[in-house]
Amino acid sequence: MGRHHHPGQYSEAVASASGVLAYNQERAVKSMASGQLEIIEKWQEMANRLAEAAMPSLGLTSIPMAQALHATAQVEPSRDAVNMPTAELGWHDWWEKRAGLAARAFSVQDLANISLDRLARVNDVTMACVELLRESALDQARALDKRLASGLALGPVGGMPLAHKDLLHRTGYETGYGMAGPAAKASFDATVLRRFDEAGALHLARLHMTELAFDPSGTNEMAGHCRNPWSIDHIPGGSSSGSAAVVAAGAVDGALGSDTGGSIRIPAALCGVTGLKPTYGLVSRAGAMSLSATHDHLGPIARSARDCALMLQAIAGYDGADAGSVPAPENNHYVDGIDRSVAGLRIGVLQGGFADGVDSRIQAVMTQSLASLRSLGADIREVPEFPYDTLNEMAILMIRAEATSLYERLIRPGTDAVLGDFTRARLQEGTPIPASLYLQAMALRGPLLVQFVRTVMSDVDVLMAPVFPLPTPRVDAFDTMNAESRRLRGELTRLTRPFNYLGLPSLSLPGGTCVPDDETAALPVGFQLIGRPYSESLLLRLGHAFQKNTAWHLRMPALATL
């Protein structure tokens, strides 16, 4: 039976909607008067140039993004699983620890208690945690120990200590979205958490994130700043700040993050861990806070590429509850064959805009990493240029428009919402964007993806680029919204965001260190490998080969020994 409405309710709703529209129009005019009109005109000019190159025929429907992903897919054939060698340096990743668990050298409860204690100590220094889930985690651990005692084996991530970014809903627990103030309790589970539950993983904590996942620095002026475990005076990167920090500090073996413009890869690079942004639609976002539905990705952060493979194996797959979920061309086995040789793989090094403004210390890490890959038999090649700055701008306008459509009520006059200046400014920028410009930017994604793969990647298997072109900034560089903090935030996402627009998978790997200006301690530096759609198994295999040949992922910050 349908609902019955009082006649006055319709007029009230119309009046309310009209008021909101009038307010938005007024604010749009003010925004344009203060310079937003010039930005929109720039975006429109860029979109027109892209359209002329990628969609020359007027009136034709664009290639849908899902179809473009399938048309340009690169899927590795399934291979038999390979036993992995034991690392000789540093600490063990989960891949090795799970063998000890299967041999009953320790219990799941032992692992949970150790991780919970470390999370508490790490949080005291870094503010990486929002809430420890001690009671529920130990309940999970006891249930898994009973399973082991009964002679039943656990899966690849069974008993694995994990934590998750505070934008994933968990029944009965709060989800804060990185905002200050009280948070509502969730009444359902995010698909990725449910899939980890089914695989037997542990959930130990909710983790720090920037407000509404907007800030790539990892700073949060309203809820407090997260700190880099290698140096608490420096940023951890964001918005998945806590996820990278707790993995780097050895408190958990893996964490979930989200990536709308680089928010998995940036903190992974700055904290010296491994992070994967999967192909768009490969991992369900159902039950996760959205910033930009066309650009949001969920993915794993872990110590090693092979741990990321284990985590991805547990959570990847189509989900009808996520409107952006895309069925992969075929089931991918990210773990099988990860130890195969990478000799003969063709790696294209992105130049042009990706080389402009790269600090010499970062470039030295890139050169060193390329030499390591070349020693493994990889074929290093140059690749054609592409308008990456324009892709960046198209992504920015779409993210701004979609975020404002979701959170516009938080910036209305009279609201009691408490927002930081940076987040408020980003939401206000989305108000005057014309629908026609937004739809044009969205329609260009599929054709540009096809064009990118058929030109830039036509002669290579993988691309390589820096994640962040500068040494890690200090936290206090973001205390004030000024020209320098805006420049740094722009640099943080300049080399990562284009691949969110194109929906391509990208793996961030620790590749070295550098000493920032006026500092004495060396901080991690990362680089990214970018592949064709659904090439995660290839990226992870190449990342694992690199990590067998180097030890950057095995380095420990002093905080890990507390």
Domain of residue 488, CATH code: 3.90.1300.10
Quick one: pLDDT at residue 452?
97
pLDDT of residue 455: 97
Give me the residue label for tokens 């990167």.
237
Please say if the pLDDT value at position 30 is more than 60: no
Give the lowest-confidence range in 71-75, 195-199, 248-252, 535-539.
Answer: 71-75
Position 243 scores a pLDDT of 98
Instruction: State residue 7's pLDDT score.
Output: 36
Q: Please state the rounded mean pLDDT for residues 452-458.
A: 97
Q: Check if 263 is active-site.
A: yes
- Residue scoring higher pLDDT (315 or 5): 315
CA dihedral 365, 371, 373, 374 (to 10 degrees): 160
Instruction: Please report, rounded to a whole number, the percentage of residues in the chain having pLDDT higher than 70.
Output: 90
User: Residue 59: what pLDDT?
Assistant: 61
Does the annotation count 57 as an active-site position? Answer: no
Q: Which of 59-73, 112-126, 195-209, 217-231 has the lowest mean pLDDT?
A: 59-73
Helices (H), 360-420: 360-375, 388-407
**Of 165, 241, 258, 369, catalytic:** 165
Phi, psi of 240 (to 5 degrees): -85, 55
Beta bridge partners of 509: 527
Collect all residues with Cβ–Cβ distance below 8 Å to 519 and sequence separation of at least 6.
231
Query: With 0-12 CB in 10 A as exposed, 13-18 as middle and 19+ as buried, what is 316?
Result: buried
Residues near 276 by Cβ (< 8 Å), separated by ≥ 6? 264, 299, 300, 301, 308, 312, 505, 506, 507, 508, 536, 539, 540
Does a structural domain hold residue 102?
yes
The pLDDT value given to residue 64: 85
Please give the share of the chain, as a percent, with pLDDT higher than 90. 79
The confidence score (pLDDT) of residue 83 equals 35
pTM for this prediction = 0.90
**491 domain-assigned:** yes
Copy the structure tokens of residue 20.
């909101």
pLDDT digits (tens, 9 = 90+) for 247-303: 999 999 999 999 999 999 999 999 999 999 999 999 999 999 999 999 999 999 999
Q: Is residue 409 in some structural domain?
A: no
Residue 337 Rama label (left phi>0; alpha psi -120 to 50; beta): left
Distance CA 435, CA 224 (A): 35
> Does any domain span residue 330?
yes
Phi-psi category of residue 213: left, alpha or beta, with phi > 0 → left and psi -120 to 50 → alpha: left
* Both tokens assigned to 339: 């130890």
Look at residue 418 in the predicted model and tell me its pLDDT.
Answer: 85
Confidence band of 27 (pLDDT split at 50, 70, 90): low
| Beta-bridge mates of residue 508 | 275, 528
Question: How many CB atoms are closer than 10 A to CB 376?
Answer: 16
C-alpha triplet 223, 224, 226: angle, nearest 5°: 125
- What whole-number distance in Å separates Cα of residue 204 and Cα of residue 243? 12
Note the pLDDT tens digit of each residue in 400-421. 999 999 999 999 988 877 899 9
The pLDDT tens digits of the residues spanning 348-405 come to: 999 988 999 999 999 999 999 999 999 999 999 999 999 999 999 999 999 999 999 9
pLDDT on residue 76: 65
Q: Which of 135, 83, 24, 513 is nearest to 340 (CA)?
A: 83
- pLDDT for res 330: 81
Q: What is the pLDDT of residue 63?
A: 82
Closest among 455, 337, 329, 438 to 386, alpha carbons compared: 455
235 has a pLDDT exceeding 80: yes
Residue 415 is predicted with a pLDDT of 84
pLDDT tens by residue, 415-448: 877 899 999 999 999 999 999 999 999 999 999 9
CA distances from 444 to 40, 56, 149, 268, 449 (A): 17, 11, 55, 30, 8
Separation of CA 497 from chain center: 10
Distance CA 251, CA 253 (A): 7
Domain hosting 158: range is: 69-389+435-554
Distance CA 279, CA 530 (A): 10
Q: Looking at 115, 217, 239, 258, which residue is catalytic?
A: 239
Which tokens is 379 given?
A: 């074929």
Return the structure tokens found at 416. 């009691």
Please state, in angstroms and rounded to a whole number, the distance separating the CA atoms of residues 454 and 54: 12
Question: Domain for residue 496, yes or no?
Answer: yes
Hey, is 482 helix, strand or coil? coil
Q: What's the Cα-to-Cα distance from 164 to each of 161, 204, 300, 362, 542, rounded to whole Å?
A: 11, 8, 10, 30, 26
Rg for the chain (alpha carbons), in Å?
23
208 and 258 Cβ atoms separated by less than 8 Å: no
Residue 14 located in a structural domain:
no
What's the pLDDT at 417? Answer: 79
Residue range 13-32: mean pLDDT, rounded: 46
d(CA 338, CA 342): 10
> Is residue 80 scored above 50 in pLDDT?
no
| DSSP line for 107-165 | -HHHHHHHHHHHHHHHHHHH--EEEE-HHHHHHHHHHHHHHHHTTPPP-TTTT-EEEEE
Q: CB–CB of 507/306 below 8 Å? A: no
Residues 6+ apart with CB under 8 A from 493: 216, 261, 262, 266, 392
Q: What is the pLDDT of residues 136-146, one digit of tens each?
A: 999 999 999 99
Query: Is there a contact between 289 and 239 (Cβ–Cβ < 8 Å)?
Result: no
Please give the single-letter amino acid code of residue 79: R
- What was the pLDDT predicted at 233? 96
Q: Which member of 263, 292, 369, 537 is catalytic?
A: 263
Evaluate whether residue 2 is within a structural domain: no
User: Locate tokens 């090649």: which residue?
Assistant: 381
What the block records as the tokens of 466 is: 């820096």
Can you give the length of the chain in residues?
Answer: 562
Backbone angles phi, psi at 530, to 5 degrees: -115, 135
What are the structure tokens assigned to 489, written together? Answer: 């935030």
The total of structural domains in the chain comes to 1
pLDDT in tens, 313-347: 999 999 999 999 999 988 778 999 999 999 999 99
What pLDDT was estimated at residue 66?
87
Residue 49 domain-assigned (yes or no): no
Is 165 designated active site?
Answer: yes
More confident site: 269 or 18: 269
pLDDT tens digit string along 143-193?
Answer: 999 999 999 999 999 999 999 999 999 999 999 999 998 888 999 999 999
Check pLDDT > 70 for residue 6.
Answer: no
pLDDT at 82: 35
The per-residue pLDDT for 89 is 34
Residue 435 carries which side chain, given as an amino acid letter? A
Distances (CA, A) of 286 to 59, 178, 208, 309: 34, 18, 20, 21
